[in-house]
Structure 1
């Protein structure tokens, strides 16, 4: 019996073309790693390029300065996701208690437990030395985050599930436990929490319950 003729291999996309398209993402991933590991000031663009496997000149084709590279990292990992989170809030149908618990847990899964959490810790330590980056981070991360939390709390008040709140200050009741977890994550020089007995997941659930005890409408 004659063998069936083999089908011709499908032509592959040129390796160089695929590589070029992947470069911005690879550079942003390498930059996130180094910024979190070393801080903004100590990270050199040559190191980022080397970790991504490209030349410094190639890096500057995509990002004209280290500052613009840092902004792109923040936008990809945090700031650029607020539109998605706003849509989730619009579509959410559960109670306010369920929404607050969902937000705590989702923040941990998407930000707090990832390398992106190190960006907030970095800004806390280096903001005074880089005021322009601090202003950028405030505009694109802190202020949208506050607006999102205000919307969550206002939704609860409108539904009669949360008691009347001073929103200017209530947002910090929600943020405080998340900020503590962010700055307490292990680092080479300082570890506040004992990883053998501290569970971030249990802490998140406990803090969500604790915050809700203060925010929810109290029985008469």
Structure 2
């Protein structure tokens, strides 16, 4: 029995950072970063405030960890996918943007955009962290793919920065909509976020491609 208790405590300790991040994300999105107290995060995660500070020494560091876990890590996974890709730039963008953003939209992580956009003006350190770890890294990744497509004659010679913004900003907005106005509208309202993501990416790719792109496979539903 003691051995079982020790193993259980070890598993709980290993799971605790994720539980704290989940609790922080839920409360930050619901109440706002400034309005959320550290003890509320700890209580939702089922730990003491002191335990929370053992893992994250300040509320600002906790928010940085939320951003890094839910967004930066996903961008790193997209970069790994790009590094292994041997097909067309169109197929790579479809995979990164449609699959990646649909999974993000379907997860609580889509709330990070609302959190950041509504809070960063009052927290310059968080704004700098988000820009460095999310905006710049995502822009660099997608910019490389667009540049590759241009170099291979697959895409028209367009301004790469503007093309990346055209691809990404509406996707950020659909996630922001889900956690703001979309949370108050009827469930049968005509804006289907998952369909919008696929349709938007296809529309922009149609403008980028020298020849019409092949339709992307339907996004796989998440569990």
Q: C-alpha displacement at 1:218, in angstroms? A: 5.2
> What does the per-residue CA deviation read over 1:125-174, in whole Å, with 9 as the maximum and x for residues that have no partner?
11111111111111111110100110110121122110112112211111
The correspondence for 1:97, drawn from 72, 90, 99, is 90
1:80, 1:119 → 2: CA distance? 13
The correspondence for 1:107, drawn from 100, 120, 124, is 100
1:39, 1:150 → 2: CA distance? 32
- Residue 210 of structure 1 aligns to a residue in which SS? helix
**2:110 aligned with 1:117, yes or no?**
yes
The correspondence for 1:52, drawn from 34, 45, 50, is 45
Q: C-alpha displacement at 1:201, in angstroms? A: 2.0
Worse overlay, 171-180 or 130-139: 171-180
Please provide the CA RMSD for this pair.
2.1
Aligned to 1:6: none
The correspondence for 2:62, drawn from 64, 69, 76, is 69
**Contact 1:112–1:182 (CA under 8 A) maintained in structure 2:** yes
The correspondence for 1:36, drawn from 29, 47, 52, is 29
1:181, 1:115 → 2: CA distance? 14
2:155, 2:185 → 1: CA distance? 32
Kindly tell me: are residues 153 and 195 of structure 1, through their superposed partners in 2, closer, same or farther at Cα, counting changes over 3 Å? farther
> What does the per-residue CA deviation read over 1:183-213, in whole Å, with 9 as the maximum and x for residues that have no partner?
21143xx338654132222212211221012
Q: C-alpha displacement at 1:44, in angstroms? A: 0.7
Q: C-alpha displacement at 1:109, in angstroms? A: 3.2
The correspondence for 2:151, drawn from 151, 158, 174, is 158
Q: C-alpha displacement at 1:19, in angstroms? A: 2.1
Kindly tell me: are residues 97 and 183 of structure 1, through their superposed partners in 2, closer, same or farther at Cα, counting changes over 3 Å? same
Alignment TM-score, normalising by the size of structure 1: 0.87
* Structure with the largest fraction of helix: 2
Unpaired runs of at least 5, structure 1: 1-8
Unpaired runs of at least 5, structure 2: 213-223
Alignment TM-score, normalising by the size of structure 2: 0.85
